Amino acid sequence: MEYFLEWGYFGLFVSSFLAATVLPLSSELVLSVVLANQYSLVLSIFLATLGNWLGGLSSYGLGRLAKWSLLERFFGIKETQVKKMKVQISRWGSTLALLCWLPIVGDLFAVGLGFFRVDLLKVSIWMLVGKLFRYILWGTLTLWGLNFF
């Protein structure tokens, strides 16, 4: 995690990208440390959001590459389970991408939206909105906390 901090803005971008994949990283921690070191709030939020959004879209892309037979063979997921998931995803559609910022399940939403071929443009927009909101909230709370202490 330290090398992300040494890289400044680039490290924030890379950590945010990787945190949006299945890797267990905390881009929020990197954002907080960057802001504590007097980096620009607006640029930091922009780069964290951009990196995390692109990482989320890569998870979406992986979902689009998935095949039914691989899910069943390697993960033991039955077709009936997938059909249940399809009903839920069809119900909510691209707005589920708004939740792609959530820890653990957010990556699953992104992969599932790709797997079920939900409209990429709509998914991209909702995903961007959710991730931007998260970083604005986190950055604001970080600065508030720094000013409080």
Phi-psi region at 102: left, alpha or beta (left = phi > 0; alpha = psi -120 to 50): beta
pLDDT per position as a tens digit, 44-56: 999 999 999 999 9
pLDDT band at 142 (very low <50, low <70, confident <90, very high): very high
Locate the domains of the chain by residue range: 2-148
What is the spatial distance between Cα 107 and Cα 97, in angstroms, rounded to a whole number?
Answer: 10
Beta carbons of 39 and 32 less than 8 angstroms apart: no
Picking from 129, 101, 128, 124, the residue whose alpha carbon sits closest to that of residue 113 is: 124
pLDDT per position as a tens digit, 27-46: 999 999 999 999 999 999 99
pTM of the model: 0.88
What is the spatial distance between Cα 22 and Cα 96, in angstroms, rounded to a whole number?
Answer: 18
